[in-house]
Amino acid sequence: MADVAFDLYRAGLKLHRAKDYEGAVRSLEQAVAADATLADAWEALGVLYDKLGRVDDAINATQRLVALKPDEVMAHTNLSRFFMKKGLKEKAEEEQGKARLLGWKQELASGGGHGSELQQAAPATAEPTTPTLVSFLDGSAPAAPPPPPIDPAVAAAALARKIGQFEKLIAHDANDVLSRFTLGRAYLEAGRAADAVAMLEQVLALKPDYTAVYVVLGEAFEKAGKLARALKTWTRGIELAQAKGDLHPRNQMQEHLARLQATPPGGQPPPIG
pLDDT of residue 103: 72
Is residue 138 assigned to a domain? no
Total number of residues shown for the chain: 273
d(CA 96, CA 123): 9
**Burial level of 146, CB count in 10 A (0-12/13-18/19+)?**
exposed
d(CA 232, CA 227): 9
**Burial level of 175, CB count in 10 A (0-12/13-18/19+)?**
exposed
> Which of 92, 108, 124 is the C-terminal boundary of a domain?
92
pLDDT tens digits, residue range 123-147? Answer: 333 444 444 454 443 444 445 455 5
Report how many domains make up the chain: 2
d(CA 170, CA 178): 10
Is residue 270 assigned to a domain? no
Range of the domain at 202: 152-261
Is residue 26 assigned to a domain? yes
Question: What does the mean pLDDT of the chain come to?
Answer: 80
pLDDT of residue 146: 55
Is residue 101 assigned to a domain? no
Phi and psi (nearest 5°) for 95? -70, -40
Is this model's pTM higher than 0.85 or not? no
Report, as ranges of residue numbers, the positions in the chain whose pLDDT lies below 70: 1-2, 104-150, 263-273
d(CA 231, CA 216): 12
